């Protein structure tokens, strides 16, 4: 309650800061490179990554160093991965719902959703965000029938170097609330999983992009590894990581 009151009291200041920050922030391009492909050996795994500028790889020069590339590289250690990226800078949950007709109607095994930051910055309410995420889940079930939907958590925006105070505090508080909604939504659906970004050491300024707002290649690598672990742990039919490690050690005693 007190957070909402404080944010309201500071609204004239942080709204003005938001306009100034938007004008001054360097606009970085999306990562170059292919947005679909196949790689790896093993059991086939069809993966769709949906999202905003971070999913599109802003902050990395090429997709192989961005989230999509790092994710299919990590999954390719155990699978023949067929992957596709559906993302654009500026997209919110509402925008993706508006573009749902462009989703190829092809069955996939896993959908990873990287959305929420633009919902936070655009002033969406948590109720609207929640409704949009639920609608997106239902759309995906009907169009691509995934076995697993991974809701990637929102980053801790309260630590973004590009945001001045009190705007940083306001955006950080909103992002935390939206991330709590994602966690609750995942808990309501057996085919959904939530992966919290707050558990990762993501925001070392040395590893952020030059705009102070997007990840750099090293952050994308850590993020993708965490997503791959979540997918391997939660995908129906996959053994837990501890079981896989025991099997690997048994097959190669020198790794003990």
Give me the CATH number covering residue 48: 3.40.50.1110
Is the pLDDT reported for residue 21 higher than 80?
no
CB contact at 8 A, 183 and 27: no
On whether the pTM is more than 0.75, the answer is yes
pLDDT at 105: 87
Q: Residue 225: count other Cβ atoms within 10 Å of its Cβ.
A: 15
Sign of CA dihedral 46, 75, 54, 179: positive
Per cent of the chain over pLDDT 70 is 80
Which residue segment(s) compose the domain that 194 sits in?
A: 2-22+39-238
pLDDT at 240: 57
Number of structural domains in the chain:
1
Residue 251 lies in a domain: no
Q: What is the pLDDT of residues 56-102, one digit of tens each?
A: 999 999 999 999 999 999 999 999 999 999 999 999 999 999 999 99
Element at 40 (helix H, strand E): none
Residue 113 lies in a domain: yes
E strands, the chain, are 36-39, 43-51, 79-87, 110-114, 148-152, 192-195
Residue 34 lies in a domain: no
Of 181, 128, 106, 120, residue with least CA distance to 151: 181
* Orientation of helix 2-9 relative to helix 11-24, angle to 10°: 70
pLDDT at 118: 94
SS3 81: strand
Mean pLDDT of the chain: 85
Is the pLDDT reported for residue 163 higher than 80?
no
119 compared with 166, residue with greater pLDDT: 119
Interval 184-193 mean pLDDT: 97
């Amino acid at each position: 309650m007190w957070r909402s009151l404080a944010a309201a009291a500071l609204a004239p200041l942080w709204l003005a800061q938001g306009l100034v920050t938007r004008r001054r922030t360097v606009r970085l391009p999306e990562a170059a490179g292919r947005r679909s492909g196949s790689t790896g050996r093993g059991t086939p795994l069809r993966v769709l990554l949906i999202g905003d500028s971070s999913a599109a790889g802003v902050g990395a020069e090429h997709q192989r160093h961005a989230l999509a590339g790092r994710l299919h590289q990590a999954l390719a250690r155990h699978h023949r991965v067929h992957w596709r990226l559906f993302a654009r800078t500026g997209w919110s949950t509402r925008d993706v719902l508006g573009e749902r007709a462009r989703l190829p109607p092809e069955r996939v095994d896993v959908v990873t959703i990287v959305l929420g930051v633009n919902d936070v910055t655009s002033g969406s309410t948590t109720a609207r965000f929640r409704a949009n995420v639920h609608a997106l889940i239902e759309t995906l079930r009907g169009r691509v029938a995934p076995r697993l939907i991974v809701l990637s958590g929102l980053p801790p925006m309260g630590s973004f170097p590009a945001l001045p105070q009190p705007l940083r505090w306001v955006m950080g508080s909103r992002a935390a609330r939206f991330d709590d909604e994602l966690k609750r939504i995942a808990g309501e659906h057996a085919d959904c999983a939530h992966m919290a970004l707050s558990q990762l050491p993501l925001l070392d300024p040395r590893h952020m992009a030059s705009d102070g707002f997007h990840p750099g290649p090293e952050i994308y690598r850590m993020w993708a590894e965490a997503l791959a672990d979540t997918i391997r742990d939660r995908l129906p039919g996959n053994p837990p990581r501890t079981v896989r490690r025991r099997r690997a050690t048994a097959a190669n005693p020198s790794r003990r």
